[in-house]
Amino acid sequence: MLNKRRGKLFLVFTALIMMMGCSTADLSTDNLRDQDAQPDLREKAITIFERSLNARGGYDTYKSFNSVRLRGTDLWHSSFVRFFTPVTEQAQKFEVKFSIAGNDIKYLFSNGKRKGQFIGVEDGKPYKAIEGEKEFTDSSKIRIYLESLTHYFKWPFNLYESPVLLYAGEREIENETYQLLFASSGGVAASPEHDQYVIYIHTKTYHVDYIDFTLRSLFESYKGTLHYRDFRTVQGLVVPFFIGASDTIENKDFVHEFLFSEIQFITSP
């Protein structure tokens, strides 16, 4: 039994070393890095994104809310990736409340070994709480997991305010046409300090169906794809009740899936 556990740990650390040694993931293209073309590409991207936001209820409506509460299940298909999170259950039921403009997050485990316990992020600091007592920690597992969950939900709206937002062309996926927008938290070219995104906006519905993304806080080399499905209207906003994470758009073998049973937007702090 001890040798088996050592073997599993060896595989985990070997995979970690391999991933950390890879080059910085880059979602940009030569055309996007052309500074002469960027002003026109930005103008077109803003026009398309605004049309998408209006089709989904409007950015002003979204920004009028203070926070969001989600209830649902995080269904994991990769125990290896789940190793890097605070989640212990293959099907983790949860309730989470997070700020729209800020970074505060409060997450309740609703089943399993940690049922009734809270974890969260407050003023940028992760914490765990048992019987109401907060204990602040430097746990990267808590911070990365919670920030990823909330970002996944907010990106189809919040990426509109990205410092870099450029039109990146069209792509056909399963006989559906998408307009692509490139966004970055910093410059266009890849760097360890700034994440990059490619937003796929359906040319008919103007919904955001996919987002390619990097996650530098996990690994510089990491990139993945979010699949947004099961759109419903909640308090005037069109939002997905399903978010699946995989390594590419073509790959439907999700690492994990968020299946929301309830979404509520809240106006008060």
List the chain domain ranges. Answer: 24-266
| pLDDT in the model for residue 132 | 73
**Residue 3 tokens, joined:** 């040798």
The segments of the chain whose pLDDT lies below 70 read 1-22, 218-220
Identify the three-state secondary structure at position 45.
Answer: helix
Q: Is 189 in contact with 32 (CB distance < 8 Å)?
A: no
257: left (phi over 0), alpha (psi -120 to 50) or beta: beta
Main-chain dihedrals φ then ψ at residue 17, nearest 5 degrees: -60, -40
Q: Identify the CA nearest to 181 among candidates 200, 163, 158, 196.
A: 200
| pLDDT in the model for residue 22 | 61
Domain 24-266 is found in CATH 3.30.70.270: no
| pLDDT in the model for residue 82 | 85
206: left (phi over 0), alpha (psi -120 to 50) or beta: left
**Residue 204 tokens, joined:** 């008919």
Q: What is the pTM of this model?
A: 0.89
Kindly provide the residue ranges of all beta strands, DSSP E only, lying in the chain, ordered along the sequence: 67-76, 91-99, 105-109, 118-122, 125-130, 133-136, 164-173, 176-184, 196-202, 208-214, 223-234, 237-246, 256-266
| pLDDT in the model for residue 222 | 77
Neighbours of 170 (CB within 10 A): 12
